Amino acid sequence: MTILVITWQTVTSKSRVNGQENQIYIGFEVSDVEHSRAYIDQLYSNDNQKCFQAVSELKFAVIGSVREKGSIIEQGIVVRLLQILQSQDMDILLKTEVVTVLNSLAKGLPEHASSLVQAGLLPVLWEQLETCVGAGGTNIYIQMILCCLRSVYRQGCAPPPPAWDHKLLSTLIQHGYHPPSNQECVANILAHSCKQTCEQQQQLVEAGGAELIACMLCSPVTRVQLPALHCLAAMCYNNERVSSIVSTKSYGGKAVPDLLVGLMARDRPRELQLAAATSLTFLHRAGALSADDPKIIFKTLQCLVRMCRRDRDVWERVEAANTLAYLTEVSTELQRTAAMTDHLILTMNDYLKDPVCGTNVTQPVCVSPISSRQYDNPSTWPELMLEAALRVYASLGANDEDIRQKVIKTEGLMNTMVTALSAASPPVQLAAVRCLHSLSRSVHTLRTTFQDHVVWRPLMTVLKTSSSEELVKVASSTLCNLLLEFSPAKEQILDQGAVEFLCGLTRRPHPGLRLNAVWALMNMAFQAEHRVKASILHHLGTDQIFRLLSDNDVHILMKTLGLLRNLLSTKAHIDHIMQCHGKEIMQAVILILEGEHPAEVKEQALCILANIADGDMAKSAIMSNEDVLKKLMNYMVIPNVKLQIAATFCISNLIWNVEDGSAERQNKLREMGVYKILQNLMATTDTGLFDKVKTALQQFH
């Protein structure tokens, strides 16, 4: 008996009652469940013909129907389809039809593609691609396999090819040299599967990926060139070795960088221009092309600035600005050129004022897979443009004071930046803090604009509330500048509990956070009142100082020594601190002098001893320790001028003849042979050391 299912269909009436549309049930649809079930049952037949017919009906059922795709997956039919592919008894035409169905399923919702991956689709497809060799119908089968792989990877739910097997990658790359349909699939698979890890980038190059990309860049088909550019960008990102290899590859007599310049021509599709500029940007940042290379300073930079104009699509303006920020981030030359190009600073101000006004807001095209930004929601566009503009301003003002002053005078920028610091979006907050950090390098700005807008208050809020390590790292780096001695905000920041917070930050596992925290404390301690220094020592503790002095990061070690040096300044402060913590501080200094450290580290330790020697009572901590005195004598004769100067300066402070007890200290050091060493050092040709030695000798009676 045939079972019929009746489902009602609705249409919207054109008439209205009280202003509301009426829905009227006007008909029904009859579906033959037994018939539908029949062709599904035939899928499990061992008869090639019956199975082929069933797969064909299944294909027509799922094409264009998201609901039907989901139903088929839920019924577990994917497992049977994969069995057919793996069966040696099924012919190639049937397998081709099966892959067509799987491709259709993968083009549905992302969760559909994810279900296929979980069912084991990818290993089966890769196996079929590797073992399927032949001509004629086999070429169609290979093409459908590549199409299905492309559909899965485009959904973003697939991992890279299994272990990035060299043989598998080589096979895939070989298929990329075939007709444009295959090239497009291979380019998309590579573009969406390369995840910017050094290992994957290197494996892709070793399998011949760079040569294939060079070939694809010369394709007459945009659908091939665009994913090839995205793959190239992913390959080169932050990888010096791969970028140097890629930059030497060529096709048709042209090197890859020259091919990229050609793709930036104004008659090319805009998405191609932007993708080519991104690839050249990554090649430059990875060291393959210098900042003064015409392809970078005259072509890439100009292209990116041009794409920031108001007549461009939102996605284009955002991507161009973010790429431009990355291009100019470290090069003063590129920053100066960009700041003078096409009124860029004013263009970025348009991003802040009314970012979507005057902008083409058509449906965004596919952007690079390396971008995490989404453009399908217009409500987020102002936020995306704000983030991009702040990143550009941060890069432009990184090194040049004149550019900083032009940026800081941008109408409404400071108010926008302060507001952005309190934004709910971490990326916008990060961009605002980066911009603040860049501008905080200006002494004039610290004393004027930053004080007028009280930027330290939202910055402290970010530091105390954010869970993002990267955001806290940049914010703490900015705080270092706000805590400089000449910054008017220093006292206000101290009142907000900055000492306790920064001391806590030194205990964080991230080395960048520890470095910034110690650096900020060092700035805070410079010429500070005794209460501030006492607070730092109380909250930090000598145990934590020892841990910081044992840190593997030499920068953290140097800043910790700098902190100690600033704490031990001003005679009264030196005596009080040494009275309370003298034993621990001397142990810390000896630890450095006896350790395997660079000369600049030991110089800082000797300078700390020189500061201790400047105290009235603190001198005894050195004079009573004969081991330390012998170390000073050794460093006076070591073949390193900076260490000799630091050691001699310490001796000079110990024997200063206007201070109480100087005669006794001089006699002891004379007996140990210090006076003779000083006499021998008078033969030095270094003027700095000579002056220090002469001053020390003049102190002896």
CB 561 within 8 A of CB 605: yes
Owning domain of residue 11: 1-41
pLDDT of residue 529: 94
Residue with tokens 């064909």: 56
Residue with the bigger pLDDT between 368 and 606: it is 606
Of 243, 268, 289, the domain-final residue: 289
Secondary structure class of 10 (helix, strand, coil)? strand
Examine the domain organization and report whether 165 and 281 are in the same domain.
yes
Indicate whether 60 and 2 sit together in one domain: no
Q: What is the mean pLDDT of the chain?
A: 89
Q: How much is the pLDDT for 424?
A: 80
Other residues' Cβ atoms within 10 Å of the Cβ of residue 409 = 11
Instruction: Flag whether 356 is in a domain.
Output: no
Does 182 share its domain with 248?
yes
Q: How far is CA 295 from the centre of its chain?
A: 24
Output the pLDDT for position 381: 87
Enter the pTM of the model.
0.86
Q: CA nearest 169: which of 214, 126, 130, 207? A: 207
Residues 235 and 245 in one domain: yes
Residues 193 and 258 in one domain: yes
Q: Which tokens belong to 21?
A: 């549309």
The 3-state DSSP class for residue 30 equals strand
The mean pLDDT value for 324-349 works out to 96
The span from the CA of 369 to the CA of 293, in Å, is: 27
Residue 220 pLDDT greater than 80, yes or no: yes
Q: What does the alpha-carbon distance between residue 327 and residue 283 come to, in Å, rounded to a whole number? A: 10
**What CATH number is given to the structural domain containing 90?**
1.25.10.10
The answer to whether 489 and 451 are in contact (CB under 8 A) is yes
Q: Specify the pLDDT at position 356.
A: 63
Q: Which pair of structure tokens corresponds to residue 636? A: 């006076």
Closest CA to 223 of 180, 172, 279: 180
Nearest of 198, 197, 200, 170 to residue 186 by alpha carbon: 170
Of 318, 292, 290, 453, which is closest to residue 392 (Cα–Cα)? Answer: 318
| 3-state SS assignment for residue 378 | helix
Region 433-444: what's the mean pLDDT? 94
Residue among 320, 304, 438 at smallest CA distance from 385: 320
What token pair was written down for 328? 């100019």
pLDDT value of residue 673: 95
Lowest mean pLDDT among 86-95, 362-371, 487-496, 643-652: 362-371
CA angle, residues 451, 452, 456, in degrees to nearest 5: 45
Q: How far apart are CA 310 and CA 632, in angstroms?
A: 66
pLDDT at residue 132, rounded to an integer:
73
pLDDT higher than threshold 90 for residue 208: yes
Angle at which helices 498-505 and 456-465 cross, to 10°: 40
**CA-closest candidate to residue 231, choices 197, 188, 260:** 188
Q: Same domain for 184 and 281?
A: yes
Residue type, 352: L
Give pLDDT, residue 31.
42
Indicate if 166 and 250 belong to the same structural domain: yes
Q: Find all residues with CB under 8 Å of 402, minimum gap 6, and list them.
A: none
The label of the residue with tokens 């841990």 reads: 547
Give the integer Cα–Cα distance in Å for 422 and 465: 11
Q: Could you tell me if 13 and 49 lie in one domain?
A: no
278/211 same-domain check? yes
Least Cα distance to 152 among 71, 78, 232, 86 occurs for 78
**Rounded (10°) angle between helices 121-131 and 92-106:** 140
Is the pLDDT at 179 greater than 60? The verdict is yes
Q: Cα–Cα distance between 574 and 534 in angstroms, integer?
A: 11
Question: pLDDT (tens digit, 9 = 90+) per residue, 447-494?
Answer: 999 988 999 999 999 999 999 999 999 999 999 999 998 889 999 999
Residues 48 and 37 in one domain: no
Is residue 551 in a domain? Answer: no
Which of 137, 171, 190 terminates a domain? The answer is 137
In angstroms, the CA 295 to CA 397 distance is 23
| 593, part of any domain | yes
**Token couple for 467:** 């869970």
Structure tokens at 38: 């029949």
Domain count, the chain: 4
Q: What is the band of 360 on the pLDDT scale with cuts at 50, 70, 90? A: low
Does residue 515 fall inside a structural domain? Answer: no
Q: pLDDT tens-digit profile of 126-148? A: 999 888 754 344 789 999 999 99
Phi (first) and psi of residue 542, to 5 degrees: -70, -30
Q: Give yes or no: residues 110 and 36 share one domain.
A: no
Give the pLDDT mean for 550-572. Answer: 95
Contact between 637 and 656 under an 8 Å Cβ cutoff? The reply is no
| pLDDT at residue 317, rounded to an integer | 93
Domain assignment present for residue 662? The answer is: yes
Amino acid at 167: K
**Using CA atoms, how far apart are residues 339 and 58, in angstroms rounded to an integer?**
59
Check pLDDT > 70 for residue 90.
yes
Task: At 76, list the tokens.
Answer: 């577990």
DSSP result, 514-556 = HHHHHHHHHHHHTT--HHHHHHHHHHH-HHHHHHHHT-S-HHH
Which phi and psi (to 5°) does residue 26 adopt?
-115, -5
Task: Say how far apart CA 396 and CA 435 lie, in whole Å.
Answer: 9
Instruction: Name residue 5's beta-bridge partners.
Output: 31
Closest CA to 42 of 110, 97, 112, 116: 97
Contact of 646 with 691, CB cutoff 8 Å:
no
| Inter-residue contact 69 to 61 (CB < 8 Å) | no
User: What is the C-alpha to C-alpha distance for residues 262 and 267, in angstroms, rounded to an integer?
Assistant: 10
In terms of domains, do 31 and 60 share one? no
What are the backbone dihedrals phi and psi of residue 460, each rounded to the nearest 5 degrees, phi first? -65, -35
Banded pLDDT at 357 (limits 50, 70, 90): low
Crossing angle of helices 426-439 and 401-408, in 10° steps, is 130
Tokens of 521: 């404390």
> CA–CA separation, 677 vs 654, rounded Å?
15
Selection from 636, 630, 585 nearest residue 611 by Cα: 585
The pair of three-digit structure tokens given for residue 516, joined into one six-digit string: 């910034």
> Which residue pairs from 160-166 have beta carbons closer than 8 angstroms and sit at least 24 positions apart in sequence?
160/193, 160/194, 160/195, 160/200, 161/122, 161/126, 161/193, 162/122, 162/123, 162/126, 164/199, 164/200, 164/203, 164/204, 166/203, 166/206, 166/207
Single out the residue in 289, 322, 350 at which a domain terminates.
Answer: 289
CA–CA separation, 494 and 45 (whole Å)? 79
Beta strands in 538-616 (DSSP E): none
Q: 31 has which bridge partners?
A: 5
Confidence (pLDDT) at 303: 97
Is residue 202, in this structure, part of any structural domain at all? yes
The β-bridge partners of 28 are 8
> Within 13 Å, how many C-alpha atoms sit on residue 531's CB side?
3
Report whether 659 contacts 616 (CB < 8 A).
yes
> Is 628 a domain residue?
yes
Residue 114 lies in a domain: yes
Alpha-carbon distances of 133 from 86, 102, 140, 177, 321, rounded to whole Å:
15, 21, 11, 15, 46
Q: Are 256 and 247 in contact (CB under 8 A)?
A: yes
- C-alpha distances in Å from residue 691, one per residue of 658, 683, 698: 19, 11, 11
Nearest C-alpha neighbor of 688 from the set 651, 650, 657, 648:
648
33 pLDDT above the threshold of 60 = no
- pLDDT tens for each residue of 382-394: 899 999 999 999 9
Q: Which residue has the tokens 């990329």?
A: 176
Q: Which two tokens stand for residue 136?
A: 């004629």
